[in-house]
Amino acid sequence: MSFVEVKPSELVKKQYFFKMKSYSQVFSSLIFLQLLGIFFSVGPAGGSVSHDNYLEIDYSHYSANLVFLFTMIWAFISAVLITTKAYRYDDFVFVTNRVTSHLSNMLFLATISLIGGLCIYLSGICVKVIVAFFTDGRIVAPADSAADASSLFIGALAMVLYLLLVCGFGYLTGMAVQLNKRFIAILPALWLGFMYSNGTSKIGQFFQKCIHFYTHESSFMIFSIKMLFTIMLLFLLSILISNRMEVKS
């Protein structure tokens, strides 16, 4: 019998660094998707032409929203994959339990959210540089996009929180599917129902209110509280669901 006491914090630390090394392929997929998003974003997303007797203005709108969308999908899939059997069994390399496994997973998802969020924000700058280099026009930023240090920090942190929220949904979805395979059919059906309802059904209206709740907050402090509370709730629900699963299933 070993009398060496293993601290939970040490287990979490070892599992976290193990996952950062073992799951490094998620970063290569992130790079690919963001480069793909940047490639499609260098084309104008819209525009217009206005003129009078002496002046004509040709206006084109560029956006890095595709990079944001691709990265959100990447974060969701990464969170789902980490709940599958193949990834969960990796934790049995260590003397571990569900708590330390969940904590290391959360740290891993927080890390990829941080990296992904910063890359999203920097991709917007990359799109501007590419457009400025290959076009003859002049770039005019929106009036509400001040480029001071505080706004840059808030913008980057908002991207990180959005990605972490998506990771929380993905982690909860993965745990629900591992508990009952029927969720594989139920969850996509609910999502498709929401997409095609166009907000006319009660479920569609509920989802629209939820989206509005998280995307139309003027105070960044309140926005952060909303996001952090929801993220913690999602991970807590994931832990509760995993407690109903068998020890090695």
The pLDDT of residue 64 is 74
Q: Where are the domains of the chain?
A: 8-179+217-242
Cα–Cα distance measured from residue 133 to residue 4, given in angstroms and rounded to the nearest whole number: 61
Task: Report pLDDT for 62.
Answer: 66
Identify the pLDDT of residue 132. 74
pLDDT value for 228: 93
In tens digits, the chain (249 residues) has pLDDT values of 444 566 777 888 888 888 888 888 888 999 999 888 888 877 666 555 566 666 666 666 667 788 888 999 999 999 998 888 776 666 656 556 677 888 889 999 999 999 998 888 888 778 777 877 776 656 555 544 545 667 778 888 988 999 999 999 999 988 888 887 777 777 766 666 666 655 566 666 777 777 778 888 788 899 999 999 999 999 999 888 887 765 444
